[in-house]
Amino acid sequence: MNAETIFSKIIRREIPAVILYQDNLITAFRDINPKAPVHILIVPNLLIPTVNDVTVEDEVVLGRFFTAAAKIARQEGIDLTGYRLIVNCNHDAGQEVNYLHMHLLGGKFLSGFANKKF
């Protein structure tokens, strides 16, 4: 499956974005519609449409998601106060772009379901 998305164009730098990190596996850039003072998207450089499409071969890429998230959180000064990492899968979870991506959110207290006791 090789679908063209806005993320593909950002990775190739065909459209403008504030890219904070890029290597051979992933690209991280600021969200254009931030939900927190710090809102960064981390995407694989090769298309993986959803979490359902992840394979064993993608494990290195997904590990890089987390090491890059920690590095970016330090650079943004939110590593000690805290941040949230979110991955949505498909429509009902709120995935708007059919390209696996992780949201890194922080810079303020993040209320919501993650702070509630079940």
pLDDT of residue 4: 87
List residues with catalytic annotation: 101
**Which of 55, 47, 50 minimizes the C-alpha distance to 90?**
50
pLDDT of residue 118: 45
pLDDT of residue 3: 74
Q: Is 38 exposed, middle or buried (0-12, 13-18, 19+ CB in 10 A)?
A: buried
For the chain, the domains span 6-109
Question: Is there a contact between 55 and 104 (Cβ–Cβ < 8 Å)?
Answer: no
Residues 56-86 pLDDT 10s: 999 999 999 999 999 999 999 999 999 999 9
**What value does the mean pLDDT of the chain take?**
94
Q: How far apart are CA 43 and CA 21, in angstroms?
A: 10
The fold of 6-109 is HIT family, subunit A (3.30.428)
